[in-house]
Amino acid sequence: MKSLLSLFLLALSAGQVFAAQQTHQLARADGTVIHYTLDAPAVESAGLIVLAQGSGCLPAAHSVNLATVRAAFPAYTGLIVEKSGIAPDSAIENGQTDCPKAFLDTYTLSQRVDDYARVLTHLKSVTATFDTVILFGGSEGGLAMEALAARIHPTAAILLSGSVGGTFGEMVLSEVPPEGQPSVSAGFAQARVTPDNTLLGGHTYRFWADSLDHRSSDYLEATDTPFLLIYGGRDTAAVQPVRTLADRFAQQGRCNLTYWEFPALNHGMADPTGLSRMPEIARLAASWAEHPMKSC
């Protein structure tokens, strides 16, 4: 099996191909609009890289981290689907406290997955089918890409600092200090009863009611898609459930899950000095995606 160093050197040798970005719209069944961005390489496309960012309402088309990951796949066509109520030119600065009403009224994890699936179906009807489709999702976007993978069975999926092991609600609760967990748990319980626009932790009760019980391992086990899970050892979310899941897959002879853990990195792939190692991580992941390695 290739070492991470050899994969990194291979990635550095890849040439860059410039791409032209285009924004598009697609109607949902209820008439509301999905905004998405496509950028195709200047040469023949090697496939499609589908990108999903984490929490918040900032336009994904301008995400620095997604741009970094997209740059690691220069020969691929890139696809980003904005969250409901968000457009690439939405005037949002904070992304947590200044989310527009259209986002608060509609955004759920299930809606997000539906939107990605709808755009992919549309692209198949208007363009040539991509033989290679790779999904990438970070944090909350990782859970969305897991659910999408269970639907479309892509060539490969890369999940960075996502919710893996227990349910999404359990993962979120694990990041809350013990003294704050009772109030958060009470908020989750109320969200199930009244899934409205009441805010809890920057998200509406509607969002929480929809996402709390999503269990990533259910999606991982629903497809033979090769998955690469990437985590930082300094992540504030519990990493042990991810290690346990990787061990369980190996014990069951399910060799489609590869787990990389970088002990010195945090949730956003920054080292103790604050330096982002996302560019190196993205290039490593892109090399893995070219020839996904069996883990057992």
Q: What is the mean pLDDT of residues 170-186?
A: 91
Count up the domains in the chain and report the number.
1
Q: In this structure, is residue 27 part of a structural domain?
A: yes
pLDDT for the residue numbered 20:
63
pLDDT tier at 5, thresholds 50, 70, 90 = very low
Q: In this structure, is residue 277 part of a structural domain?
A: yes
Whether 6 shows a pLDDT value over 60: the answer reads no
Q: In this structure, is residue 123 part of a structural domain?
A: yes
Residue-wise pLDDT for 261-273, tens only, equals: 999 999 999 999 9
Whether 1 shows a pLDDT value over 60: the answer reads no
CA distances from 285 to 25, 52, 71, 210, 236 (A): 30, 15, 12, 30, 22
Q: What is the mean pLDDT of residues 178-185?
A: 95
Q: In this structure, is residue 154 part of a structural domain?
A: yes
CATH number of the domain at 112, please: 3.40.50.1820
Q: In this structure, is residue 52 part of a structural domain?
A: yes
- With b for 16 or more beta-carbon neighbours within 10 A and e for fewer, the 156-179 pattern comes to bbbbbbbbbbbbbbebbbbeeeee
Whether 295 shows a pLDDT value over 80: the answer reads no
Q: In this structure, is residue 240 part of a structural domain?
A: yes
Query: Could you count the other beta carbons within 10 Å of the beta carbon of residue 190?
Result: 16
Q: In this structure, is residue 179 part of a structural domain?
A: no
Q: Of 8-12, 156-160, 161-165, 232-236, which one has max mean pLDDT?
A: 156-160
What's the full length of the chain, in residues? Answer: 296
Angle between helices 109-126 and 140-152 (to 10 degrees): 50
Residue-wise pLDDT for 8-61, tens only, equals: 434 443 445 545 689 999 999 999 999 999 999 988 999 999 999 999 999 999
- Structural domain containing residue 163: 22-167+214-290
CA distances from 13 to 4, 9, 218, 224 (A): 15, 7, 37, 30
CA dihedral sign of residues 125, 127, 133, 134: negative
pLDDT for the residue numbered 127:
82
pLDDT tier at 3, thresholds 50, 70, 90 = very low
DSSP H or E stretch at residue 146: helix 140-152
Q: In this structure, is residue 122 part of a structural domain?
A: yes
d(CA 80, CA 61): 7
Residue-wise pLDDT for 64-87, tens only, equals: 999 999 999 999 999 999 999 999
Is 55 within 8 Å of 139 (Cβ atoms)?
Answer: yes
pLDDT for the residue numbered 11:
42
Residue-wise pLDDT for 222-255, tens only, equals: 999 999 999 999 988 778 888 888 899 989 999 9
Is 45 within 8 Å of 130 (Cβ atoms)?
Answer: yes
Residue-wise pLDDT for 44-53, tens only, equals: 999 999 999 9
Q: What is the mean pLDDT of residues 127-140?
A: 91
